[in-house]
Structure 1
Amino acid sequence: PSGFREYWRLVYELNGETHDEAWSVKTYKEVAEVFAKDHPDFLGLKLIYSDRRFKNVSVIKTSVKTAMALRTSFPTMVAGFDLVGHEDTGHTLYYYRDALLIPTLEGVKLPYFLHAGETDWQGTSIDDNLLDALILNSTRIGHGFALSKHPAVMEDLKKRDIPIEVCPISNQVLKLVTDLRIHPATAFMAVGYPMVISSDDPAFFGAKGLTHDFYEVFMGIGGMDADLRTLKQLATNSIKYSAMLPTEKKTAMKIWEKTWDNFIHDLIKK
């Protein structure tokens, strides 16, 4: 299994040369720096090191250690770690407990951005991923579709100001919900639960950017009372709950506020 993982992670050149994970992160960093020179409002990018939740524990242990090493080498680039893949057919977070507890046991801070609760089944071991994500102090909760069925978890996450990543188009494509007006996020918005909008798998779904997901949230989940304040809150949440450093968030918010003010000014003129 470990050999398969190394094969999977390698980047191949046409001449047969191969590169490891550190080379990939370094390359992303260099490209971002070049792009920023011509785009001063671009504040860079962050990478979440991920592995798939159908692999065995020993492989995920290696992945967690790799993520720890990469974050140490590239602290401003590598944001943390996540487990991705279809939850209902994959292993639970509890199954990977020995791997996910490695950073804590070694005294290393490795933020988690765990997918949890992407299911419409209640009472299964997969459904319990939300509780384990809470215990593991996940920085964000990917999807959290089943969160409304766990009021105690929802209340605790809200107290800790841990947001969920709502992925409306993904939820529709994967048939978790057909009508966004009855999406669990409608209740989250009603009580002011912290949430951000994500496209989940834009390449797989053929989507570009977040425009379509924002539109669906505004038109379906937001309800008849949704207005510019709704869009503004969702946009600022994207910055507030991002993996940027505090200083980067302040800079990003200033840039965004200037752009928003210009947008409102142009809207009024029209």
Structure 2
Amino acid sequence: MHFFRAKRLIEKSAVFRVLQKMPKGAALHVHDFSILRMDWLVRNVTYRPHCHFCVTRHGALKFRFAHPTPPPPAECSEWVLLEKYRQELRNVTAFDEGLLRNFTLETENPEEAYPDRDVLWSRFQAIFFSISGLVSYAPVFRDYVFRGLQEFWQDNVLYLELRAELLPVYELNGTTHGPEWMVETYRDVASLFKREHPGFVGMKIIYSDHRFKNVSLITESVRMAMQLQTRFPGMVAGFDLVGREDTGHSLHYYRKALTLPAAIGYPLPYFFHAGETDWQGTSVDENLLEALVLNSTRIGHGFALTKHPAVWTELWKKDIPVEVCPISNQVLQLVSDLRNHPAAVLMATGFPMVISSDDPAMFGASGLSYDFYEAFMGIGGRKADLRTLKQLALNSIKYSALQDAEKKAAMETWAKSWDAFVTQLARGRSEKAAV
């Protein structure tokens, strides 16, 4: 069953309620602008003063906070102040519900709404385009990161690693902040959250850029990644390339840029998306081999890995895990029935993997519980049990970018939560048996 149809049934499941309480360790594959439920953007952010919107010639929504009203952008005819627009509406609730539908991929009939992958990815990218004007507003950005951490924390996740593009963040007067300001803000917000939530381990950034750019631009991004990691060694974990893999440039295309750190003796860790495809024998499919050659710390998605036994064997020897994102793979049309997910083979053989949620807010999900449910009930099969879940949680800390001392502390924190969880679970079963 497609996740959009299964979601309500999942939420009624006793297994899901157990998974929500379970200490899940870390979320190692999530993207910066999709970590918080979209209804907060609609019901909080779009109601803030000086929020303008317009509709582009292609029908996409564009937002901007400004005072006074800024000149109209190239894509639109004019900006409309949302506060004034809502005052003139007869049914504000219907308008807000329409905004929410524009901010997620959720639909009752996904096969009809997204007849092929091109249509789906076009919609996916349009959502990022729309919400970026909201999230990239400095006061919203700070709140968004804090509330995003809170959403994962409430789902019993103690640590995050965000793929972050570090797009410019703007102020009300139009001034903008660059990557260093953003990393500082991530660091400060994470520190504040950690002080207010004992047991939260923290977060790190994997600086990312799009695989549609030319080599010279990605070379500059690699240089920026090294610069940011040098300045913020405890905050910036490494570098990745993001975007639709099937239509983007291959890792081999960027070889000159990606081998630059090694050429100058700088050990920049990579966390490459690779093998997020169902094609075989293409240059994109071979990203798995390139990721191996470039010593990627982890493999994002790795959906095609089982088609490459030699790469599979080498990754296993080097203990390089795959970041499996079940709901993302299904929604983005790589697999329809999660019982047929290639990760089922990896899990059955004991290959190192972690479970993550990729872009949960885009899919109408949150935290990690929904993806753990799909991994446990679908990918894991009938033999998956509490030991399976425990190993996946342990893996998320083991294969994180935390330093050894940080990992040890995180493991100790998680172990206490796990023991309490198992005790509570056993007590609940005993009470039911007694009744």
TM-score tier, shorter chain, comes to: over 0.9
C-alpha separation in 2, matches of 1:16 and 1:123: 47
Matched, 1:220 2:370: no
Matched, 1:86 2:244: yes
Moved more, 160-169 or 10-19: 10-19
Specify which of 266, 270, 275 is matched with residue 108 of structure 1.
266
Identity of aligned residues (%): 68
C-alpha separation in 2, matches of 1:189 and 1:137: 22
Specify which of 364, 381, 393 is matched with residue 235 of structure 1.
393
Aligned residues: 263
C-alpha separation in 2, matches of 1:95 and 1:198: 28
Specify which of 166, 169, 180 is matched with residue 11 of structure 1.
169
**What is the match of residue 426 of structure 2?**
268
**What is the match of residue 281 of structure 2?**
123
Q: What pairs up with 1:164-183 in 2 under 5 angstroms?
A: 164-183=322-341
C-alpha separation in 1, matches of 2:386 and 2:339: 19
Per-residue deviation, 1:267: 1.3
Q: Stretches of 4+ moved more than 6 A in 1?
A: none
**What is the match of residue 203 of structure 2?**
45
C-alpha separation in 1, matches of 2:427 and 2:169: 51
C-alpha separation in 2, matches of 1:117 and 1:190: 20
C-alpha separation in 1, matches of 2:206 and 2:345: 28
Per-residue deviation, 1:205: 2.2
- Superimposed CA distance per residue, residues 81-114 of structure 1 (whole angstroms, 9 cap, x where no aligned partner): 0001111100000000011011001111110000
Q: Which amino acid aligns with 1:46?
A: K
C-alpha separation in 1, matches of 2:167 and 2:377: 40
Specify which of 207, 215, 220 is matched with residue 365 of structure 2.
207
**What is the match of residue 299 of structure 2?**
141
Specify which of 213, 216, 219 is matched with residue 55 of structure 1.
213
Matched, 1:151 2:306: no
What secondary structure does 1:242 align onto?
Answer: coil
**What is the match of residue 190 of structure 2?**
32
Moved more, 39-48 or 137-146: 39-48
Q: Which amino acid aligns with 1:119?
A: T
C-alpha separation in 1, matches of 2:352 and 2:293: 18
C-alpha separation in 1, matches of 2:267 and 2:360: 29
Q: What pairs up with 1:184-199 in 2 under 5 angstroms?
A: 184-199=342-357
**What is the match of residue 4 of structure 1?**
none
- TM-score (norm. length: structure 1): 0.95
What secondary structure does 1:148 align onto?
Answer: helix
Q: Relative CO higher for 1 or 2, CA cutoff 8 Å, sep ≥ 6? A: 2
Q: Which amino acid aligns with 1:155?
A: T
Per-residue deviation, 1:215: 0.3
C-alpha separation in 1, matches of 2:419 and 2:299: 31
C-alpha separation in 1, matches of 2:348 and 2:213: 38
Per-residue deviation, 1:201: 1.6
Per-residue deviation, 1:174: 1.1
C-alpha separation in 2, matches of 1:126 and 1:36: 39
C-alpha separation in 1, matches of 2:357 and 2:402: 19
C-alpha separation in 1, matches of 2:210 and 2:365: 22
**What is the match of residue 3 of structure 1?**
none
**What is the match of residue 163 of structure 1?**
321
C-alpha separation in 2, matches of 1:36 and 1:194: 29
Per-residue deviation, 1:198: 1.3
Per-residue deviation, 1:196: 0.4
Per-residue deviation, 1:42: 1.3
What secondary structure does 1:69 align onto?
Answer: helix
Q: Which amino acid aligns with 1:230?
A: T
What secondary structure does 1:94 align onto?
Answer: coil
C-alpha separation in 2, matches of 1:9 and 1:183: 33
- TM-score (norm. length: structure 2): 0.60
Specify which of 49, 67, 70 is matched with residue 225 of structure 2.
67
C-alpha separation in 2, matches of 1:231 and 1:148: 22
Q: Which amino acid aligns with 2:224?
A: T
- Larger Rg belongs to: 2
Q: Structure 2: 5+ residue runs without aligned partners?
A: 1-165, 429-435
Per-residue deviation, 1:203: 3.1
C-alpha separation in 2, matches of 1:81 and 1:204: 23
Per-residue deviation, 1:207: 2.2
Specify which of 14, 18, 22 is matched with residue 180 of structure 2.
22
C-alpha separation in 2, matches of 1:81 and 1:94: 16
C-alpha separation in 1, matches of 2:360 and 2:198: 26
Q: Structure 1: 5+ residue runs without aligned partners?
A: 1-7
**What is the match of residue 255 of structure 1?**
413
C-alpha separation in 2, matches of 1:51 and 1:206: 25
- Superimposed CA distance per residue, residues 221-255 of structure 1 (whole angstroms, 9 cap, x where no aligned partner): 00110111111010111100111111111011101
